[in-house]
Amino acid sequence: MSRSFTPKVVTANRLREGDVVYLAADDRWTQFHHEAELIDDEAHAQLRLLFAAAQKLYVVGAYLADAKAGPNGPEPTHFREEFRTRGPSNYFHGKQADHAS
């Protein structure tokens, strides 16, 4: 018996910088998980993933990540995805530095 589909967001890494990015409903890539398009239909999720995978000059490694609706937009449901929302962990830069200002 197959599992039922759970909501997803499309995520990838920006090709040049390696930053984690998320696909928004308006087809732009955002660094913020809460701005991602929350997809609750499996067929639509596959179409969005195909759209992301076709953008080879901008992103790499696109995949569907589990998410849930939150008060400010999608929230990750797995610790790996929660970790990816915080940006690089090796020193204070990227998203971490942006949040400090």
Domain boundaries, the chain: 8-100
pLDDT at 77: 92
What is the rounded CA–CA span in Å between residue 1 and residue 19?
37
101 pLDDT above the threshold of 60: no
For residue 72, give Cα distances in angstroms to 32, 51, 68: 11, 25, 11
pLDDT at 93: 56
pLDDT digits (tens, 9 = 90+) for 20-78: 999 999 999 999 999 999 999 999 999 999 999 999 999 999 999 999 999 999 999 99
The CA-based dihedral angle spanning residues 87, 29, 62, 67, taken in that order and rounded to the nearest 10 degrees? 70
Contact by Cβ (8 Å): 20, 84: yes
For the whole model, what pTM was predicted?
A: 0.82
pLDDT at 84: 83
